[in-house]
Amino acid sequence: MTAPDETDRRILNRLQEGFPISPRPFADVAAELGLDEDDLIARLARLKETRLITRFGPFYDAAAMGGAFCLCAMQVPEDDFDRVTDLVNAHPEVAHNYQRDHALNMWFVLATETKAGIGEVAKRIEAETGLTVLQFPKEHEFFIGFRVAA
Amino acid sequence: MSIDTTDRRLIEATQSGLPLVPAPYAEIAAGLGLDESEVMTRLQAMQDSGVIRRIAVAPNHYALGMTANGMTVWDVKDAAALDLGAQIGTLDFVSHCYLRPRSLPDWPYNLFAMVHGKTRDEVAAKRAEIRALLGDALRSNDILYSTRILKKTGLRLGKG
């Protein structure tokens, strides 16, 4: 993986804050950063290709569309972990999934288009894996700046 | 805000990312048979109403050297939880902070705060800062380090 240089880091920091909705948004951001539009686009393509960027685009809020997000956790036997991972990840509603060092060792987020969808998908995962899915829906989200210094 | 079928098509066309071309909204519009101006107007409306939280880059913390990622979890008294969660949210090393229901008896924790750092020692020091902030309201706590990203795709709408 190519290490990000100083310009890459400025791009990452700037684009965590937001991206214009305008006819030439890359040109707008490039001008702010003192770069050429072509250079900015080429760097973003490389940052995506080398996986320094996991996503670039609109972040949709399922809840605002009438859907829901829910953090879920499972206690998965270590010797069955890969099989369960495949079963869980096969659901398109699983937005991300992390292994963590705890008895509850699999933590994933469900994003569904309806509030009832969370329970339905959780139930399907329980049926497929034979494991209990604990649900931790958010009761309150505390405001945070979005930036992580690159 | 309710989204209509055109919004839905726009979401489907953009949920995996924006095209890296000089006029990305025009390219999306062409693919959907819409005008560029309509695409921009609809995206702006969805951003204003919160359907789009932001249009931005999600950096890969791991690739940037932030390889230690701890989910710190805290059991604090309910009466103080909203106030304390707000205070945790102001710490610059916390990327997300939520109040969630406990799942007793296995899971006594109601505040969740994600902490990132270059090493586990760095994350542990930040966790200690949170602990100091919580004071007497804190009953117990734990930290769950992530050891592997198993999936990271973000929201995907099904073909509705």
pLDDT of residue A54: 87
pLDDT of residue A61: 83
Q: Within its chain, how far is the Cα of B21 from the centroid?
A: 26
pLDDT digits (tens, 9 = 90+) for B89-119: 888 788 889 999 999 988 999 999 999 888 9
Q: Which of residues 19-58 of A touch B (CB under 8 A)?
A: 19, 21-27, 37, 41, 44-45, 48, 50-58
pLDDT of residue B28: 98
Distance CA B7, CA B30 (A): 15
Distance CA B11, CA B25 (A): 12
Q: What is the DSSP letter of A66?
A: T
- 3-class SS at A120? helix
CB atoms within 10 A of CB A100: 19
Query: Highest mean pLDDT: which of A68-82, B1-15, B63-77?
Result: A68-82
Q: Is the pLDDT of residue B159 over 50?
A: no
- Prediction pTM value: 0.77
Q: Is the pLDDT of residue A12 over 60?
A: yes
Contact B56 A15 (CB under 8 A): yes
pLDDT of residue A1: 52
Best residue of A144, A146, A147 to probe chain B, by most B CBs closer than 10 Å: A144
pLDDT of residue B65: 81
Q: Among A16-30, B1-15, B100-114, where is mean pLDDT lowest?
A: B1-15
Contact B52 A101 (CB under 8 A): no
Rg (CA), chain B: 20
Cβ neighbours of B48 in A, within 8 Å: none
A145 touches chain B (CB under 8 A): yes
Q: What angle do CA A49, A53, A57 make, to 5 degrees?
A: 105
Q: pLDDT class for A144, splitting at 50, 70, 90?
A: low
pLDDT digits (tens, 9 = 90+) for A32-84: 999 999 999 999 999 999 989 988 999 988 777 778 889 999 999 999 999 99
Contact B85 A142 (CB under 8 A): yes
Q: pLDDT class for B62, splitting at 50, 70, 90?
A: confident
CB atoms within 10 A of CB B3: 20
Q: pLDDT class for B160, splitting at 50, 70, 90?
A: very low
Average pLDDT over residues B29-53: 96
Q: Is the pLDDT of residue A28 over 90?
A: yes
Tell me: ipTM over 0.90.
Answer: no
Q: Is the pLDDT of residue A147 over 80?
A: no
Helix axes A6-16, A25-33, angle to 10 degrees: 120
Quote the mean pLDDT of chain A: 92
Average pLDDT over residues A107-117: 92
pLDDT of residue B1: 64
Minimal Cα–Cα distance from A6 to chain B, Å? 12
Q: Among A10-14, A145-149, B48-52, where is mean pLDDT lowest?
A: A145-149
B154 touches chain A (CB under 8 A): yes
